[in-house]
Amino acid sequence: MLQSLSIRDIVLIEALDLDFGAGLSVLTGETGAGKSILLDSMGLALGNRADSGLVRQGMEKAQVTATFDAPDPASKLAVYLADNDIEIEPGEPLIIKRSVKADGGSRAFINDQPCSAALLREAGNRLIEIHGQHDDRGLINPRGHRALLDTYAGSDPAKVRQAFEGWQSAKVALEQAIADQEAAEQDREFLEHSVAELSKFAPQPGEEQELALERATMMKGEKLTGDLEAIRAAFDGSNGGLASLRAAARRLDRIGEDHPLLAEALGALDRAVIEAGEAEELLNKAADALMFDPQRLDDMETRLFELRALARKHRVEPETLAKLLTDMETRLAAISDGGRSLKTLEAGLAEAKSSYIAAAEMLRLKRQKAAKALDKAVAGELKPLKLDAARFETLIEPLDELRWGGNGMDRIEFLISTNPGAPLAPLGKIASGGELSRFILALKVALAEEGGAGTIIFDEVDRGVGGAVAAAIGERLAKLSKAAQLLVVTHSPQVASKGDAHFLINKSIAGTVSRTDVAALDGEGRRQEIARMLSGADVTDEARAQADRLLEGV
């Protein structure tokens, strides 16, 4: 709900501060007093285009501040603001501020946090509905009719959206599988040849490193063969060094007891025999490890060359050839199994589509039932509003499958006919200005219990009517104000008399300077203003008496 509106330096308004309460607030004044300026100021605060022409002559900038009740933390407005990093403290009012400079440019703030005009406009649409003579938003725009009907029906399209997303996911999965299958079929010959080639070669993980190490070792052995053989020859045979050491040790053992030094010499010689034996064993092992086998070397080099050639052919590292073979075998198997997989996905797609259609048809039934109730409710409001020849109908039209979506399979639009026998047509294309406002009022009354913006502004909804019709409009506005805060610009005393609060818009001229002011009227002020609306510039006692009768009927 709008709590207050503060305007500074907009056209004829120098400074204006208004406080609003719940219920129906009416704004009256003579033609040209400045009601449009007030609505333009409100539009600026709600994100309309910032026109530098709004700035009062001689001023640098104009500014509007609108204060609203604290939004419910769970409301769509609060969630939208949070999603756009606008912080709202729980229980604190929502304050919108918009300024426009005389030389162009504007700034917008929500609770002192800067925001774009687009964000402000979206937030404003959730806070206030403005219905005027040339309004093309809200109830007139068919894009919002579906949501209004769903709200009236108490239906939630969430299940339909979920089913639609499941259907689309299944469709994407099948399309991808078909594309994969087609690509695999094109690769079948290549895969079969590659799998056969790699299977025959049988690459092993880590094989390149092992072959390269063994090859390097064998090539070292080729260089060291001569030296190793010469060294080993010094150990081998009866005349070899190790045999000589052992013979010397046996002779020394026989005479070692004859002198202590001989015993020490024997110990040293025994150790030498042991060390020499170990050296011989190590030399033999080294010779085996470094053994040069020309055939084995040739085989290793051939294997290593082919391994690396296959890796280059398939543009992979030699280490991953074994994994590549496994992957290719899997892809080749998938081609053969592709038909069965596609059938499974096709069955899943058909099931997902059937689930979506079932959910959408159930939603359609709820909409059709609600549409009948809404048509009846609106029809009941038309006759008292001097629209007894008019017809209202909620169109629910099946969409082509290509246009099905998360909100169902229906196109929904409010249609009217204002003359007997005339065909039904879109709301905004048939009704005249006054008729359009009354149609909107009838719709709003019918939809009053189903929520919407907390504040609704009607600009001259009573244009072109008077008497009983104006009284009927006033009664319906009063009824609607029980569900939402209403601000109504009116020229009708019958409507003005229904207000819970009454504001008078007045323009004054001092020399060459014109100013627009708005004042909240007390009881006597209301009586005098309604009498003026009844009689004109010269307020008569009879007009005051008639004003009293209108006010007593509230």
- Tens digit of each residue's pLDDT (9 = 90 or more) over 525-548: 999 999 998 887 788 888 889 988
Predicted pLDDT of residue 136? 45
**What's the rounded Cα separation, in Å, for the pair 35 and 463?**
14
Query: For residue 494, which of 434, 433, 432, 554 has the smallest C-alpha distance?
Result: 554
Closest by CA to 119, choosing from 85, 169, 151, is 85
**Spatial distance between the Cα atoms of 3 and 13, rounded to a whole number of angstroms:** 20
Quick check: 355 pLDDT over 90? yes
| pLDDT of res. 348 | 94
Q: What is the pLDDT of residues 121-172, one digit of tens each?
A: 889 888 988 876 545 455 677 888 898 899 888 888 999 999 999 999 999 9
- Does pLDDT of 35 surpass 90? no
Q: Is 261 helix (H, G, I), strand (E, B) or coil?
A: helix
pLDDT at 524: 92
Q: What is the pLDDT of residues 361-420, one digit of tens each?
A: 999 999 999 999 999 999 988 888 888 888 899 999 999 999 999 999 999 999 988 888
* Mean pLDDT for the chain overall: 84
Residue 147: predicted pLDDT: 85
* CA–CA gap between residue 153 and residue 369 (Å, rounded): 8
Q: Please give the average per-residue pLDDT across 200-213, as a whole number.
A: 87
Q: Are 449 and 436 contacting, i.e. CB atoms less than 8 angstroms apart?
A: no
Query: Which of these ranges, 18-32, 462-476, 495-509, has the smallest mean pLDDT?
Result: 462-476
CA distance 27 to 459: 9
Residues of the chain with pLDDT > 90: what percent? 33
Give the Cα separation of 189 and 202 in Å (integer): 20
Give the range among 74-78, 285-289, 315-319 with minimum mean pLDDT. Answer: 285-289
Report the C-alpha gap between 72 and 94 in whole angstroms. Answer: 11
Average pLDDT of the residues in 263-273: 78
- Model confidence at 222: pLDDT above 80: no
pLDDT score recorded for residue 12: 86
* DSSP type of residue 30: -
314 phi, psi to nearest 5 deg: -95, 5
Angle, in degrees to the nearest 10, between helices 76-83 and 117-127: 170
Q: What is the mean pLDDT of residues 514-521?
A: 87
Whether residue 497 is predicted with pLDDT greater than 50 in this model: the reply is yes
For 229, counting Cβ atoms within 10 Å of its Cβ (0-12 exposed, 13-18 middle, 19+ buried), the class is exposed
User: What is this structure's pTM?
Assistant: 0.63
What was the pLDDT predicted at 471? Answer: 87
Give the pLDDT score at 484: 86
Which residues, other chains included, contact 331 with Cβ-Cβ below 8 Å and sequence gap of 6+? 184, 187, 191
What is the distance, to the nearest Å, from the Cα of residue 265 to the centroid of all Cα atoms in its chain?
A: 95
Identify the band that residue 68 occupies on the pLDDT scale cut at 50, 70 and 90.
very high
pLDDT confidence tier of residue 287, bands split at 50, 70 and 90: low
Sign (positive or negative) of CA dihedral 518, 59, 128, 432: positive
Kindly state the DSSP code that residue 243 receives in the 8-state scheme. Answer: H
Q: Is the pLDDT of residue 499 over 50?
A: yes
The strands making up 410-417's β-sheet, listed across from edge to edge, are 391-398, 410-417, 425-426
Q: For residue 230, name the pLDDT band (cuts at 50, 70, 90).
A: low
CA distance 301 to 340: 45
pLDDT digits (tens, 9 = 90+) for 444-477: 888 865 556 788 888 887 777 778 888 888 888 8
Span 269-289, mean pLDDT?
A: 75
Q: What is the pLDDT of residue 356?
A: 97
For residue 113, the model assigns a pLDDT of 92
Q: What is the pLDDT of residues 420-430, one digit of tens each?
A: 888 888 876 76
Mean pLDDT value of segment 25-31:
88
Q: In the chain, helix, strand, coil percent, each to 5?
A: 60, 20, 25
